[in-house]
């Protein structure tokens, strides 16, 4: 198979012309998000260029410490991202989110690399990019799950209070909200899995094929990573909500929202 075509600066810069189409549509549709689009594009470019430089250095100078530091930063940013969207929850709920993201993500990542791939956990070529996909999707799943859970509780507040007055325990009241939020968080990943291979060729598989990897090998990696992502999302959201909802009521069965 042919090796991947390396883009020069001029070729690469041509992609930014597509942003003019978005800007034109925004203007015609009277969508006042021009500044956001420009800032997001510039920020994405800067962040990815910096990430590329860092990864290039790490790959040329592999060391377990670099992998650990990169994972710590990645997990810390994902936790901060979720918590920034859930500022009103109590401290113990925040701890549940942090621990769930950390240990669920690392567990699935370690299983994938050690058992499935059969590589060292400290091999940056595998650990760092796979961690980005697994932990990144887990972060998105928790964000969606928490949004659904908290919004449903707020809209059903009167019903919750009525059930409490009737003597229904907080566990029986809140568990349906937990299960509904978990289902909502899982749906995007499962829908994505349903359309793969027919509607779309996913990013990891496309990247491997472009780099010269045999399609059959790329397919096996893509199937494996999608199952790992789905497991990570499910496990992280499940642990977050099942440990977190218990922090919303006290020993006297009073729900504190």
pLDDT in tens, 193-251: 887 766 666 666 666 666 667 778 778 888 888 899 999 999 999 999 999 999 988 77
- In-domain check, residue 257: no
Q: How confident is the model at residue 155 (pLDDT cuts 50, 70, 90)?
A: very high
The count of other CB atoms within 10 Å of the CB of residue 179 is: 14
Last residue of a domain, one of 13, 35, 61: 61
Asked if 148 and 39 sit in the same domain, the reply is no
What is the distance between the alpha carbons of residues 73 and 61, in angstroms, rounded to a whole number? 19
Task: Give the span between the Cα atoms of 42 and 105, in whole angstroms.
Answer: 29
Contact 67, 124 (CB under 8 A): yes
103 and 175 fall within a common domain: yes
Q: Which of 175, 97, 176 is nearest to 138 (CA)?
A: 97
Closest CA to 149 of 218, 67, 231, 88: 88
Whether 255 is in a domain gets the answer no
Flag whether 4 is in a domain.
yes
- Structural domain for 229, as ranges: 64-248
Q: Are residues 41 and 103 in the same domain?
A: no
Residue 254 lies in a domain: no
What is the pLDDT confidence band of residue 123, given thresholds at 50, 70 and 90?
very high
Shared domain check, 68 and 56 = no
Are 84 and 178 found together in one domain? yes
CA 227/CA 225 separation, integer angstroms: 5
Domain count, the chain: 2
Are both 30 and 155 inside the same structural domain?
A: no
Single out the residue in 61, 76, 98 at which a domain terminates. 61
pLDDT at residue 131, rounded to an integer: 94
The percent of residues in the chain predicted with pLDDT above 70, rounded, is 91
Domain assignment present for residue 216? The answer is: yes
């Amino acid at each position: 198979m042919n090796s991947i075509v390396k883009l020069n600066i001029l070729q690469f810069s041509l992609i930014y012309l597509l942003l003019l189409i978005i800007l034109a549509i925004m203007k015609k549709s009277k969508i006042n998000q021009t500044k956001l689009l420009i800032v997001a594009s510039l920020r994405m470019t800067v962040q990815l260029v910096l990430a590329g430089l860092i990864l290039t250095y790490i790959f040329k100078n592999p060391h377990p410490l670099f992998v650990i530091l990169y994972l710590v930063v990645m997990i810390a940013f994902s936790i901060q991202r979720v918590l920034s969207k859930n500022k009103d929850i109590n401290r113990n709920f925040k701890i549940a989110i942090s621990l769930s993201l950390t240990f669920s993500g690392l567990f699935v990542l370690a299983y994938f690399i050690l058992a499935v791939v059969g590589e060292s956990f400290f091999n940056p070529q595998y650990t760092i990019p796979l961690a980005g996909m697994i932990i990144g999707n887990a972060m998105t799943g928790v964000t969606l799950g928490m949004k659904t859970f908290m919004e449903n509780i707020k809209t059903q507040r009167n019903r919750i209070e009525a059930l409490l007055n009737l003597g229904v325990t907080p566990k029986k009241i809140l568990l349906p909200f937990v299960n509904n939020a978990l289902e909502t968080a899982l749906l995007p990943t499962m829908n994505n899995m349903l359309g793969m291979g027919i509607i779309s060729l996913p990013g990891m598989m496309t990247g491997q094929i472009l780099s010269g990897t045999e399609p059959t090998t790329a397919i096996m990696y893509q199937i494996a990573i999608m199952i790992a992502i789905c497991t990570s999302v499910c496990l992280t959201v499940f642990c977050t909500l099942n440990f977190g909802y218990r922090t919303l009521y006290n020993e006297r069965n009073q729900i504190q929202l």
